[in-house]
């Protein structure tokens, strides 16, 4: 239901992924064309001011370079892509280069004419954010009155022009239980959907959006919903990871999920990356560590030589200092980018992932599940409490 590039679905795709990971080819690229937007979603991780977007010519040059590097799957997103007047020129160039194209949009600006152009240009899929089937709930998140109605009106138009449509619904405090309505809506429209339990910090690391993150305890109804299979353990990192098992996943990242990533945290920097509207190249939109800028360097020079990417490629899950010892690793959705942004360490554990993994493990029947991070913290605090120190002293004096 979820997988954007449902890599595990075909052996051919799995072979492609294995080979691109082995050879570090940039198979899938997420390219944000603008951060400007016509909505002001309460949870959005972006700064919507224009700090100097790549020009049309620069975008076309980036596409040429990506094609030469062997990239195949392109996701154009933003901000709101329809605010770029040169969108169709960029899409036409991308199709001439034979990319497989997906878009992410709030769909407010979709009209029959624009949908027809997307269809003619051969865009394959459009992911649309829908936060609820209830207008008041959706519109309170986007801060645009009437936005749900306009967004939903775009879906049949896009379908009529042969585009695949997928709904994306990040879940937060404001729409936690709306996921049921979004599921029903998707079923009625006959389109797939993805529910995302992760609300990330801003790209600059500031924590504003986290105020909208639902507490782990309030996520219980979602985690317990049998249709979502949220608590199904995954094979451990040392073995293959499956593609997402249910309709839960990332509405943000466009990396590829596949069992082919043996012992790797994810596809970021291995065969996927993110390009900002200003030409910065990052391993992933959720891992904002710029590896270089396309105004100064060629894509290949960044992709093959940036020390940030080389360091990322060397990471193996089985060698992570804390997480490799974790007994509930198979319930954990640890993301290296969030480990860096929230825990301050690309290789580390972070509170939210641990709390969520413990809750999932508990619901799956594991008795007293404790993450490695919490186990180590408990051990350290036992060693340092006054009672523990007194007990140690008493034991010492008794042995004299
Ligand atoms: C950044 S938007 C860009 C595309 C388009 N403007 C849209 O809203 O669909 C892509 C996705 O990221 C999600 N998103 C934005 N800020 C987020 C955050 N802090 N945490 C998780 N998802 C977020 C949006 O809800 C949307 O589904
Ligand atoms: S989530 Fe998308 S629509 Fe909402 S403000 Fe951010 S970029 Fe705009
Ligand atoms: S639950 Fe915590 S310690 Fe365990 S793997 Fe996940 S992030 Fe690491």
Exposure string of 349-359, with b = 16+ CB inside 10 Å and e = fewer, is bbebbbbbbbb
Query: How far apart are the C-alpha atoms of 317 and 265, rounded to whole Å?
Result: 6
pLDDT in tens, 258-267: 777 889 999 9
Which amino acid residue places its CA nearest to atom 3 of ligand 1?
A: 78
Of the listed ligands, the closest to the CA of 237 is 3
Which amino acid residue places its CA nearest to atom 14 of ligand 1?
A: 44
Atom of ligand 3 nearest to the CA of 373: 3
Confidence of residue 251 (pLDDT cuts 50, 70, 90): confident
**Mean local confidence (pLDDT), 33-55:** 98
List, in sequence order, every beta strand (DSSP E) within 88-198: 100-105, 125-129, 164-170, 193-196
| Predicted pLDDT at 262 | 81
Ligand 3 centroid to residue 335 C-alpha, Å:
10
How far the first Cα of the chain sits from its last, in Å, is: 67
**pLDDT over threshold 80, residue 171:** yes
> From edge to edge, which strands make up the β-sheet containing 28-32?
193-196, 164-170, 125-129, 100-105, 73-77, 28-32, 272-275, 280-282, 292-293
Ligand 1 centroid to residue 2 C-alpha, Å:
16
pLDDT in tens, 322-344: 999 999 999 999 999 999 999 99
Identify the residue with better confidence: 385 or 102: 102
How many CB atoms within 10 Å of residue 284?
Answer: 24
**Mean local confidence (pLDDT), 339-361:** 96
The residue among 143, 363, 124 whose CA lies nearest residue 232 is: 363
Ligand 2 centroid to residue 212 C-alpha, Å:
14
pLDDT in tens, 214-244: 999 999 999 999 898 888 887 654 434 444 4
Atom of ligand 1 nearest to the CA of 131: 25
The answer to whether 189 and 197 have CB atoms below 8 angstroms apart is no
Atom of ligand 1 nearest to the CA of 78: 3
**Mean local confidence (pLDDT), 41-60:** 98
| Predicted pLDDT at 340 | 95
pLDDT in tens, 371-386: 999 999 999 887 666 6
The residue among 261, 131, 127, 287 whose CA lies nearest residue 203 is: 287
| Predicted pLDDT at 209 | 98
Of the listed ligands, the closest to the CA of 252 is 1
Atom of ligand 2 nearest to the CA of 37: 8
Query: How far apart are the C-alpha atoms of 213 and 244, rounded to whole Å?
Result: 21
The answer to whether 210 and 199 have CB atoms below 8 angstroms apart is yes
Ligand 1 centroid to residue 126 C-alpha, Å:
14
Confidence of residue 12 (pLDDT cuts 50, 70, 90): confident
**Mean local confidence (pLDDT), 64-93:** 98
| Predicted pLDDT at 399 | 44
Query: How far apart are the C-alpha atoms of 194 and 168, rounded to whole Å?
Result: 5
**Mean local confidence (pLDDT), 284-288:** 93
Of the listed ligands, the closest to the CA of 104 is 1
Q: Which residues line ligand 2 (CB under 6 A)?
A: 37, 39-41, 44, 46, 78-80, 106, 142
Query: How far apart are the C-alpha atoms of 29 and 46, rounded to whole Å?
Result: 19
Confidence of residue 2 (pLDDT cuts 50, 70, 90): very low
Query: How far apart are the C-alpha atoms of 34 and 143, rounded to whole Å?
Result: 19
pTM above 0.85, yes or no: yes
Of the listed ligands, the closest to the CA of 129 is 1
């Amino acid at each position: 239901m979820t997988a954007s590039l449902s890599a595990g679905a075909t052996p051919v795709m799995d072979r492609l992924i294995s080979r691109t990971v082995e050879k570090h080819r940039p198979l899938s690229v997420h390219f944000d064309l603008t951060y400007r937007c016509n909505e002001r979603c309460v949870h959005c991780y972006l700064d919507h001011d224009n700090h100097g977007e790549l020009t049309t010519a620069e975008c076309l040059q980036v596409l040429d370079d990506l094609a030469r590097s062997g990239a195949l799957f392109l996701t154009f997103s933003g901000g709101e892509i329809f605010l770029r007047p040169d969108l169709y020129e960029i899409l036409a160039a991308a199709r001439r280069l034979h990319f497989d194209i997906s878009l992410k949009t709030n769909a407010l600006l979709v009209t029959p004419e624009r949908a027809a152009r997307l269809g003619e240009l051969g865009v394959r899929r459009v992911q649309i954010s829908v936060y609820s089937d209830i207008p008041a709930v959706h519109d309170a998140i986007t801060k645009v009155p009437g936005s749900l109605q306009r967004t939903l009106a775009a879906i049949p138009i896009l379908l009529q022009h042969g585009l695949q449509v997928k709904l994306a619904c990040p879940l937060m405090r404001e729409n936690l239980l709306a996921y049921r309505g979004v599921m029903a809506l998707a079923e009625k429209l006959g389109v797939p959907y993805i529910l995302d339990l992760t609300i990330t910090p801003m790209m600059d690391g500031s924590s504003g959006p986290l105020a909208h993150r639902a507490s782990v305890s309030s996520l219980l109804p979602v985690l317990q919903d049998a249709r979502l299979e949220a608590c199904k353990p995954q094979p451990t990192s040392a073995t293959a990871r499956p593609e997402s098992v249910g309709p839960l996943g990332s509405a943000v990242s466009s990396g590829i999920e596949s069992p082919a990533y043996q012992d790797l945290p994810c596809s970021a920097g291995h065969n996927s990356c993110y390009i900002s509207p200003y030409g910065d190249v990052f391993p992933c939109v959720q891992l904002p560590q710029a590896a270089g800028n396309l105004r100064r360097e060629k894509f290949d020079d960044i992709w093959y030589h940036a020390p940030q990417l080389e360091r990322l490629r060397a990471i193996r899950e089985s060698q992570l200092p804390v997480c490799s010892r974790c007994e509930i690793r198979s319930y954990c959705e640890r993301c290296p980018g969030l480990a860096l942004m929230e825990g301050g360490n690309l290789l580390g554990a972070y509170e939210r992932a641990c709390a969520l993994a413990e809750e999932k493990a508990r619901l799956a029947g594991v008795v007293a599940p404790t993450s490695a991070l919490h186990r180590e913290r408990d051990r350290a605090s036992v060693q340092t409490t006054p009672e523990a120190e007194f007990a140690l002293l008493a034991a010492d004096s008794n042995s004299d």
